[in-house]
Amino acid sequence: MELKNAQQLMLKLYGERDRRRGVEGTFMWLVEEIGELSEAIRNKDASNIREEFADVLAWLLSLANVLDVDLSDSFKEKYGAVCPRCKKAPCICDK
């Protein structure tokens, strides 16, 4: 699934609910899911890691929808095809 399509799906499924929850509430759900991903990684639970990655992405897409940010366009603008700092691919930055 393309990122743009995934963001549209989240808007269709949860857009109204996310808008009612607002930026702060939606952001807090994203943070919670990042915490759950962290725990899954620490536990080396491969199936839970996959699930939590999906949840993190879903909440990131929902937050972007609440803020009217097209993540696909934002990502392309910042990263395009090269590192935004050194302008090379692969990156040759020191760190």
For the stretch 34-59, pLDDT in tens is: 999 999 999 999 999 999 999 999 99
What does the radius of gyration of the chain's CA atoms come to, in whole angstroms?
Answer: 15
Question: Model-level pTM?
Answer: 0.92
Mean pLDDT in residue range 78-84: 94
Structure tokens at 67: 């803020």
Confidence of residue 82 (pLDDT cuts 50, 70, 90): very high
Rounded-to-integer distance, Cα 56 and Cα 38, Å: 11
Please report the domains of the chain, with CATH numbers, ordered by start residue. Answer: 3-79 (1.10.287.1080)
Mean pLDDT in residue range 16-31: 98
Query: Dihedral through CA 27, CA 32, CA 41, CA 6, nearest 10?
Result: -40
DSSP state letter for 53: H
Rounded-to-integer distance, Cα 46 and Cα 2, Å: 23
Query: pLDDT at residue 95 above 80?
Result: no
